[in-house]
Every structure is written in C-alpha cells, then in structure tokens.
Amino acid sequence: MNTEDILNMEADVLVVGSGGAGMSAALAASQAGSRVVMADRSLISRGGATVMAQMTVAVALGEQVPDDWRYHYADTLKAGRGLCNEPLARLLCEKGIDSIRLMDGWGVGWARDGNHLAQAIAPGHDRPRCVYVDYLNTGPAVAKTLRTQVVHDGRIQRLGDILIVDLLVEDGRIAGAVALHLTTGQRMLIRAPAVVIATGGLTRLYKRNSASLNMGGDGYALALRAGARLIDMEFVQFFPIGHLAPRLVGFDPIMWDPFRYKLGGRLLNGLGEEFVEKYGHAAEQEGYTVTRDAATYAILKEVEAGRGSPAGGAYLSFQHVPEAELRKAFGPIIKKLAANGIDLTKMPIEVSPIAHYHMGGIRVDVTMATDVPGLYAAGEAVGGANGANRLSGNAITEAITFGLQAGRSAAAYAQTLLPVDQARADTLAAPTLAWLAAKSPAPAKSPNAAALIVKLQDIMQTYVGPFRTEAGLEQALREIAQLRGELGDVLPAASTGPQDPMRVDALDLHNMLLVAEAVARSALSRRESRGAHQRDDYPGLDDAWVLNQTLSWRDGQWTLAKQAVERLDPALIQAGANFEQVGQA
C-alpha cells in the first residue's frame, strides 16, 4: 500500500463530532491540558441536531418556581418507564444545573422574565423547568456559544469536512482513527490514546425524520466495530407532532412544539374531536401535558381506526388562541407562516409522528467510559439516561453535561499515555486505508447506495417504526441482509473528481445497515410494549422486562444480553448526598 498520500496527525484526545456534546468534550479536555483534535464530517458546530434544537432545555434552576434536581430526576425516571440508568439520569439532572449556568455565563442568552430566567412547562415535567432562547433559537444559540468558547480556547484543533471511518484498537485499547477528508478524498490517520464519540443519533435510518444527513448512527457503528457494547437500541423516539401539511418551507418539522409550550394548542382527530383521553391520559385542558410516547401512540391509533386527518395524521389547532396572544408569543414567526399561506387563527395544521431522537446508544458508565479502554462517548450517542422515553428538553442538557464529563475523563485517561507509535498505527490502519483506496468497479456497475439508503429508510419506517410485530421485525432483518448483499464490500467511486458522494453514500450505508440491524434485533427480542417501543403482538408493560438489553458485535456475530437496570439508593438521594458520593458508586 502506498502510504505517502496519507495525512498523519496525533492528539491526546480525538473528539468525533462537534455538536453540543463534542464541543463540550473538546473544551473540557483542552482545559484539562490535553492536546485535542475535534473532527466533524460537517462544518464545525453546524451539522447534527444541536444547531437544529428548537426551544427547550430542561434544568432545575428554580428561577421560575422553586425546584430541585431531585424533582427533575424523579420526572426523568418516570418518563423513562423504569429503564433509566439512574447514575446517568442523576448526572444529567444534578450536574445539568452547572452546565446550563455555565452557558448563561458564556452569554447564550436564555430568555428572561423580568429579573430571572424564564422557564417553560413541557410534558412530563411537574413544573416550569425549561429554559430557552426566543424565538425558536435555542439550538443555534447553544451551538454558537460553544463554538465561540472553542475558538477562544485557541488550542483545540478543529477539522471540518472530516469523516471518521473507523477506530483503531491495539490490544483492546483505543489507538486512534482512520478518516477521510470529504472534499479532497485524502485519507487520514489520527493517532490518539483517547477518543470521544459525540456523533449524535440515528434518526436518518427512518423515512420520516427530523434529522440532518449526518445523523445515520455512525458513532454506534464505530463503537460496535471497536468492541464496545450498545444498550437499549430498540428505543427510538418518535416526536408526535411533526409537521405534515400544508406544505411549509423554511421551518423545521418539529417547530410546533414551542407553540404548544407557550400556547397549549388542541390536538384533534379527523372528526375534530379531542382524543388523548381515550388512551388513558388526562384531557389536555391545562395545556400541553401528554408525553411523546403516549401522544405518538394515540395519534397513530386514531389514524389506524380511520379517524386521521386528510394527510394521515392529526390536526393541531390554535384557532381558539387570540391573534394578539399568538403575535406576542411568536411575532416574527407568525409573519413567516403567513408567507407559507398559514393563518393559525383560521386553520389547523396537520401533524404526525416523526423519528426524532434515540434513547439507546453506546453503553457508558457515569464517567462516560465505554467497555473499551480509551473510548468515551457523550450526548445522544450515549444510551441509557432516558430509559424508554425522553422528556422534552433533556437532550441539550445531556449533550453539554455528558460532553463536559467525557472530556474530563478522556483527558485524565490520556494524561499518562503516549499515542501508539507511527509504525504500529500504520499496521493497524492498513486494512481500512486499503479499503478506502481500493480500485472500485466502474460507476455504472456500482450499486446505487443513495437508492439503497432510501430503501432502508422505507424498511425501518414500515417494520421498525412506532408499531412493531415479530413478523415485521423478522422481515426487516431479512431485507436489511438483502441490502447488505446488494451493497457489497467494495466501495464505489464516481468518475469525476476527488469529492465523491457515491463513495460517501456507500460508507454511510455500511454504518446504517449495521445500526439498523442493532435496532431491529433489540426490538425483536423485547416482547412487551414500553415507552417508545410498542409491539402490537405484545401490548402492555411486562414486569419481567424491567431490564436493559446490551448488544455487541464481534467478527460478524451479534451477542444480545439482558442486564439489570443500574439503580441508585433512593434513601441517599432523599438525604441529599452529593453526586461524588452517590453518582460514582
């Protein structure tokens, strides 16, 4: 193999991904004295979900009304339907307070209500707890604030347009990564004793999703191939009120959530009737109260019963809200809606569930360490903290808090270690580098990976979506195997130039197929309905399933195991022992 055209780099800590989790990890590791490289397949801080977040950031600041992290923790566990990893949930709720105050100190611009931070109520929270940046500007503000801090830090090496293709493992320990510069096609080898995976979620696996293109679950595939375990992969959150109709340009499909936080809004079936109470939930007279898993279930069951809206969802109506109130809450947005021909005082819009977030992910302990020494994970890439269903607003708090923790842990781990030497790294990287450089079939003979991705998204939506059955999940696994056969092992190449979208599609699809299989296998194994995992053939909760599932993948073989949910002693939490005493237990 010719290694001359390979760009070699070295770091103490390599952070993969530059969303909220990645930037937080990079900052913490750099401040702890590590040499940090942060690589992202997109522009730094501008890809992934963080920059898209709309409004809520859940944290028990007690600014709007008295609050305590223990109440937030109790709500998180309740929403997680018994499956939350309690040390991780506790880290999120308790240390989340410091993270969100830190962001405030960095000038993120949390909305204020008089002389305190404004906190909105969101479903599943027992009190107003979500800070935000008006108007639908939370994600961009969080991303910009962290980006500014990264720039001020001055020592973090930022590499945009870099796809991390695979991790290097030496004697069971992390040794670095192989990467591809997407614009030039240049192959890279990055030596690092510690790597933080902060690649976000997997919702691109689904046909109807709120994701950007870079959310195909790369981090889960990287972790699996490196020998780490995943946890609770079956729990994909469908956001119930994704925009469906009429056509809407220039908005995110989940934009109606903030409207519901501020204005309530009525969820109606195709006959104009309120329906959530039919499914065992209190009618939403007091505003927006039904959690995401429950609302998704209710909407899809109404559609199944033939009571959906014309486009196949439910109506969301703000017609009862006076125009002045609408304008006060969403002034500039109301104007943009008018440009789309939408007047909320006169018409309802149609909404339906859309794949949005992943509760499962890479299994970590409370230091964010995986099973593989040197490998850490943070943010949505991590599984377990939110159990079977996530509360609104927990994800941004999770991204920043877990990111900071992962950065600190990775830096402490890397402190006494040198990167593996170049010759050894060349040997470890050789198979992947050779794969990336291999002569491929003529484009005409190459599989059309983009078309296969669309097929996969259809399969996942149909068989591994909000409602699942044994027959459907088995069908999904057969079709995933078939797609793998069609894709083959050799990477295709376009005939023109170094920038090679066909090759990137194929790399993406390799990962997406592995991750899709992980979701389908876990879903097939869990024979009950809990939170975001609803089995038509096993309706209802089953106490025998109050456990987590882990998955590992070695030499093409899957191992699925059940494990007890990690709990904390409630007596210690009531007594107020601090995180260091309880969380590390």
- Binding residues for ligand FAD, rule: CB under 6 A, are 16-22, 39-42, 47-50, 52-57, 138, 163-164, 198-200, 210-211, 214-215, 218, 252, 254, 357, 379-381, 393-396, 399
Minimum Å gap between C-beta 274 and ligand FAD is: 25
Q: What does the angle CA 580 – CA 581 – CA 583 come to, to the nearest 5 degrees?
A: 65
Output DSSP code: residue 304: H
- DSSP string of 469-492? -HHHHHHHHHHHHHHHHHH-SSPP
Nearer to ligand FAD, 72 or 301 (CB): 72
Minimum Å gap between C-beta 569 and ligand FAD is: 28
Minimum Å gap between C-beta 164 and ligand FAD is: 4
Minimum Å gap between C-beta 7 and ligand FAD is: 15
Q: How far is CA 105 from the centre of its chain?
A: 26
d(CA 426, CA 264): 58
Q: Which residue(s) pair with 559 in the sheet? A: 552
Output DSSP code: residue 584: T
Nearer to ligand FAD, 58 or 480 (CB): 58
Minimum Å gap between C-beta 323 and ligand FAD is: 25
d(CA 504, CA 512): 12
Helix (H, G, I), strand (E, B) or coil at 393: coil
With contact defined as beta carbons under 8 Å apart, do 200 and 53 qualify? no
Number of residues that this document lists for the chain: 585
Nearer to ligand FAD, 225 or 281 (CB): 225
Q: How far is CA 13 from the centre of its chain?
A: 22
- Selection from 203, 210, 208, 201 nearest residue 251 by Cα: 210
d(CA 365, CA 28): 18
With contact defined as beta carbons under 8 Å apart, do 526 and 381 qualify? no
Nearer to ligand FAD, 78 or 225 (CB): 225
d(CA 553, CA 559): 6
Minimum Å gap between C-beta 213 and ligand FAD is: 9
Nearer to ligand FAD, 355 or 524 (CB): 355
Nearer to ligand FAD, 393 or 465 (CB): 393
What is the H or E stretch that residue 199 is in? none
d(CA 460, CA 285): 35
Minimum Å gap between C-beta 419 and ligand FAD is: 19
Nearer to ligand FAD, 242 or 313 (CB): 242
Nearer to ligand FAD, 334 or 399 (CB): 399
Nearer to ligand FAD, 56 or 534 (CB): 56
Q: What are phi and psi of 363, to 5 degrees?
A: -80, 125
Minimum Å gap between C-beta 389 and ligand FAD is: 14
Q: How many CA atoms lie within 13 A of 560 on its CB side?
A: 16
What is the H or E stretch that residue 77 is in? helix 69-79
Helix axis angle, 470-487 to 449-463, nearest 10°: 170
Minimum Å gap between C-beta 139 and ligand FAD is: 6
Nearer to ligand FAD, 48 or 419 (CB): 48
Minimum Å gap between C-beta 393 and ligand FAD is: 5
How many H helices and E strands in the chain?
Answer: 16, 23
Minimum Å gap between C-beta 172 and ligand FAD is: 22
Task: Tell me the CA distances in angstroms from 275 to 281, 287, 293, 299, one per residue in order.
Answer: 9, 14, 15, 8
Q: How many CA atoms lie within 13 A of 304 on its CB side?
A: 9
d(CA 233, CA 562): 12
Minimum Å gap between C-beta 68 and ligand FAD is: 20
Q: How far is CA 118 from the centre of its chain?
A: 26
What's the token pair of residue 372? 């593989």
Question: What's at 358, amino acid-wise?
Answer: H
Nearer to ligand FAD, 216 or 308 (CB): 216
Nearer to ligand FAD, 90 or 301 (CB): 90
CB atoms within 10 A of CB 471: 11
